[in-house]
Amino acid sequence: MLRTLVIRDFILVEHQEIPFAPGMNVITGETGTGKSLLVNALSLLLGARGKEEWIRPGSVRAVVEGCFALQGVPEVRQYLAACGIPPEEDFVVLSRELTQGTKSKARINGRSVPLNVLRDVAVLFLDICGQREHSLFFTSSNILRLLDTFLPERGKAVKQQYVARFEEKRVLEERLSSLERGQEKELAELEEILEEMQQSELTPELILDYEEEFGRISQAQRYLEAVQEFRESILGDGGVLWRISRLRALFRELSGTSAAPQEAEVQEILERVELELEEALRLVQGLERLFSFSPERVENVERAVAEIERLKRKYRFLTTSELVAFLKGLKERKNILEEEIAQKDILRERIAELSRELLFLGGELSAERRRAFEVLRERVKEELATLALQGANLDLVLEKRREPGPEGIDEARLLVSLNPGMPLLPVEEAASGGEISRIVLALKSVASALSGTPVLVFDEVDQGVGGVTAFGVGDKLKKLSRQHQVICITHLPQIASFADHHLKVEKFSTKEKAWVEVTPLSSWEERLREIARMMGDEKKQAATLEYAETLIRRARSGGFEIQ
């Protein structure tokens, strides 16, 4: 239930903390005092679009806060926990702030949240029914939701299956949409490139080999000249090896005439140098083989390198390494594309299968809804009879949608005939504003036992109603208040007499400003005087006060009857 509504600088309210009580809360006041601003304030908590003109003149921001009891609404705790918002022990505070020139702010328990999160929590607490909401009440989606509250167990099971299949189809369609990136075209392009590579007989490995070999060819002349010079220096007449051989022979001749210890060491060094030079010569001769190319080989390598350069220009790569990396990824990319195409085929097949299932389940759900409507119709007719609409009759039109939707394959319209022999027409065409209000009240009355919404707000539900019919409306609201907290804005003393908690809205003004105050009428005398005022007796004469008391006692006793 709604415990308190705090309003700061909103329209004509400076600062009010308005208490509400269990049962039936009635809000009354003179026309133009601003009773409906309370509905606007509650609408903000439900995510309604804020207006800058709602900020009180002279202020830069307006704030609306609602403190709701958590008792009986366990899903709120679950939702808040999922959002990472710890609730207080037994209540939650929803707030909305309007600031000039900037977006509004939404908070839950003082923590900033997106507006849709505030709305999702608020709808678990609050339902507003007023003239502005009546056009929405008779929309197809709302009628279907109303019907579904009367589905039998089998019907609920069918709807559950339908919703599950629809959600699966939605997820798969999103997955398919994410895969729809023109894989077939890209795969054809990759296959064309792979075929081109196959015809050119170039692989990433060969490209690197050709590049490396071409580099050797371009350096071959210099290397071969260096090899020739090295060989002549080592092996030529008077070359290094010849000179070392001569030195070794010289020291061998000397070894017989002297016993100097250095001779043996010199011999070892010369022998080691000779071996190192022979090894170097072997390596150099290997270089000669590495840098020796036949004319045919040079022509083949140059042709391959020209093809590589062409490919780099064609596919806009600056370096050979980029081309090689691209070619190495071709086959892997091809495999990915082929897998995605296969997945798309599987998804399309499953989506088609789900579409067939949705049509079947949707048909079953339509039949269950028609049966549910028979129950709903009889109960609503009983309720309408207590609201001076004894001859009213309802009918339901279910038309098939072009495509299955989240609520089924149905588009629903509610038809009504208010008098015997009159044709069945859409509610908005057949009924006046007051009659529509009573039809909505009757529908909400029969659905209330199945609804978990704790707070029901009624604005202008008494439009076009008077006399004993007003007692029927008040009695209906009173019965609703046994299971819900009812907040009703009314101009009728008959309805106000049913209140468990009575609030009066008054407007005051000076030359400089105007303001609105909301006052709980806590005493019996205050209630009598307000109901007397609503009957047009501003002087509160004794006879009027006596009749006001009669109204209240009559409402409490249920001593009235709709003919």
User: Which pair of tokens denotes residue 142?
Assistant: 């709302």
What's the angle, vertex CA 414, arms to CA 120 and CA 394, rounded to 5?
A: 125
Picking from 427, 439, 435, 447, the residue whose alpha carbon sits closest to that of residue 373 is 447
Q: In what order do the strands lie in the sheet with 425-426?
A: 393-405, 408-417, 425-426
101 alpha carbon, distance to own chain's centre? 26
3-state secondary structure of 13: strand
Q: Smallest Cα–Cα separation from 91: which of 110, 104, 106, 64?
A: 110
CB 64 within 8 A of CB 96: yes
Residues 241 and 317 in one domain: yes
Structure tokens at 198: 């196959």
- Check whether residue 273 and residue 126 sit in a common domain: no
In a domain, 369, yes or no: no
Domain boundary residue, one of 340, 362, 396: 340
Per the domain annotation, does 224 fall within a domain?
A: yes
Same domain, 133 and 243: no
Asked, for residue 379, whether it belongs to a domain, the answer is: no
**3-state class percentages of the chain: helix first, strand second, coil last, to nearest 5:** 55, 20, 25
Main-chain phi, psi angles of 194, to 5 degrees: -60, -40
User: Do 188 and 134 belong to one domain?
Assistant: no
Classify burial at 11, counting beta carbons within 10 Å of its beta carbon; exposed 0-12, middle 13-18, buried 19 or more: buried
Both 202 and 93 in one domain: the answer is no
Neighbours of 419 (CB within 10 A): 11
Say yes or no: 189 and 128 in one domain. Answer: no
User: What is the number of structural domains in the chain?
Assistant: 2
Residues 226 and 126 grouped into a single domain: no
Domain-located, residue 162: no
Residues shown for the chain:
563
Residue 6: give its domain's CATH number.
Answer: 3.40.50.300
Six token digits for residue 75: 């899903």
Are residue 200 and residue 334 in the same domain, yes or no?
yes
Asked if the structure places residue 154 within a domain, the reply is no
Of 279, 308, 340, which residue is a domain's last?
340
Q: Are the C-beta atoms of 23 and 49 separated by less than 8 Å?
A: no
Q: Is 320 part of a structural domain of the chain?
A: yes
Answer yes or no: do 132 and 234 share one domain.
no
Examine the domain organization and report whether 192 and 317 are in the same domain. yes
For residue 410, being part of any structural domain is answered with no
Instruction: Tell me, yes or no, whether 55 and 188 share the same domain.
Output: no
Residues ≥6 apart with Cβ < 8 Å to 456 = 127, 129, 444, 448, 480, 484, 485, 486, 487
* Amino acid identity at 428: E
Let me know whether 16 and 134 are in one domain: yes
CB 418 within 8 A of CB 389: yes
Give the range of the structural domain holding residue 256, as residue numbers without chain letter. 184-340
- Let me know if residue 403 belongs to a domain: no
8 A C-beta contact, residue 425 and residue 417? yes
Question: Which one of 340, 372, 405 terminates a domain?
Answer: 340
Per-residue pLDDT of the chain (563 residues; tens, 9 = 90+): 899 999 999 988 889 999 999 999 999 988 777 777 888 899 899 888 888 888 888 888 999 999 999 887 888 888 888 888 876 678 899 999 999 888 889 999 888 898 888 988 888 888 887 655 566 678 888 889 889 988 999 999 999 999 999 999 999 988 888 777 667 677 777 777 777 777 777 777 878 777 776 766 666 556 656 666 666 667 766 667 777 777 777 777 666 655 566 767 777 787 787 787 777 777 766 666 666 555 676 677 777 778 788 878 887 888 888 888 877 777 778 877 777 788 888 888 999 999 999 999 999 999 999 999 999 988 888 888 888 788 888 898 989 988 899 889 999 998 998 888 888 898 888 887 778 878 888 888 887 666 667 888 888 777 767 777 888 888 888 888 888 899 998 888 888 999 999 999 988 888 888 888 999 998 998 988 888 888 876 666 788 888 888 888 888 876 555 54
